[in-house]
């Protein structure tokens, strides 16, 4: 990951004020985490019918989900037998 000149300015300004260092570290950590997740999602190409293990259900927060609905198997199909990607 290459830092832009804008990123470098923000880092230098933040380092001048010691109170901002922790905030900077937290923001960079979150940014890196989001970048990694974005790359993982781009690598994963779902056909819509296979389980998407990178996402969580919009209703019950379980995995995997049906890509086209954003819901897990039981929330999509209404059947407990579809839990864990058994569809």
pLDDT for 18: 62
Q: Which residue has tokens 């989001």?
A: 34
Q: Contacts by 60-64 with C-beta closer than 8 Å and gap 24+? A: none
1: CB partners within 8 A, 6+ apart: 32, 35
Quick one: pLDDT at residue 63?
Answer: 87
The predicted structure's pLDDT at residue 9: 77
**pLDDT score recorded for residue 36:** 65
Residue 72's pLDDT is what?
A: 87
Domains of the chain by residue range: 1-43, 46-87
pLDDT for 43 equals 57
Mean pLDDT in each 10-residue stretch from start to end of the chain (87 residues)? 75 68 74 67 60 87 86 86 75
């Amino acid at each position: 990951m290459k830092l832009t000149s804008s990123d470098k300015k923000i880092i230098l300004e933040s380092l001048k004020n010691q109170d901002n260092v922790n905030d900077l570290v937290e923001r960079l950590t979150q940014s890196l985490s989001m970048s990694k997740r974005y790359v993982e999602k781009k690598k994963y190409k779902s056909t819509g019918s296979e389980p998407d293990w990178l996402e969580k259900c919009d209703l019950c927060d379980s995995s995997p989900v049906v890509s086209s609905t954003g819901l897990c198997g039981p929330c999509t199909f209404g059947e407990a037998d579809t839990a864990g990607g058994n569809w």
